[in-house]
């Protein structure tokens, strides 16, 4: 399989970051190229100042009766999963320039796992013919 998986990563909670990392690592393991575009709260989560913080869980987790992760959200290994994906295969993580501007974040504030900044046009160009997933 030599398709590209293009991942618009918008969400910033540990559970959704983990779902994204798992998808990226799985695609890598199957030989796919993976392009991740960080927007809004995912962009926020990948800042050097916050990348190791506890980012909590999605709103869905708050409903009464849900099974909570016994080890807590801080133990969810989403960043390790992205690091493993980058070691395994061809993963590019890009900070969305539009979101940087809206949130007033400088590109230099991003953690070194982020490869650079770029816009939606070049992201979509690389996505051509492949799958686009929004998380």
Helix (H, G, I), strand (E, B), or coil: what is residue 69? coil
Q: How far is the CB of 115 from a copy of itself (least distance, A)?
A: 19
Find the binder of a copy of itself among 4, 15, 46, 91 (CB under 8 A): 15
Q: Does 69 bind a copy of itself (CB under 8 A)?
A: yes
Q: In angstroms, rounded to a whole number, what is the distance separating the alpha carbons of residues 113 and 60?
A: 28
Q: 95 - beta bridge partners?
A: 38, 117
Binding to a copy of itself (CB under 8 A): which residues in 92-131?
A: 98, 102-105, 119-121, 123-125, 127-129, 131
Task: Return d(Cα 46, Cα 116) in angstroms, integer.
Answer: 12
Nearer to a copy of itself, 116 or 131 (CB): 131
6, 14, 84: which is closest to 50 by C-alpha?
14
Contact in structure between 106 and 49 (CB atoms under 8 Å)? no
Of the candidate residues 34, 51, 76, 85, the single one contacting a copy of itself (CB under 8 A): 76
Query: Contact positions toward a copy of itself, by CB under 8 A?
Result: 1, 3, 5, 8, 10-13, 15-16, 18-19, 22-23, 25-27, 29-30, 39-41, 44, 47, 49-50, 53, 55-56, 58-61, 63, 65-71, 76, 98, 102-105, 119-121, 123-125, 127-129, 131-135
């Amino acid at each position: 399989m030599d398709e590209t998986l293009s991942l618009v990563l918008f969400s910033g909670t540990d559970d959704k970051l983990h779902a994204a990392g798992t998808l990226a690592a799985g695609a890598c393991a199957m030989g796919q190229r993976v392009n991740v575009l960080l927007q809004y709260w995912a962009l926020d989560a990948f800042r050097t100042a916050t990348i190791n913080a506890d980012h909590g869980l999605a709103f869905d987790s708050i409903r009464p009766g849900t099974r909570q992760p016994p080890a807590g959200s801080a133990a969810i290994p989403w960043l390790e999963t992205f690091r493993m994906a980058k070691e395994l295969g061809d993963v590019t993580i890009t900070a969305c320039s539009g979101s940087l501007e809206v949130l007033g974040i400088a590109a230099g504030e991003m953690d070194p796992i982020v490869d650079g900044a770029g816009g939606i046009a070049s992201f979509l160009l690389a996505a051509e013919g492949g799958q686009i997933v929004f998380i």
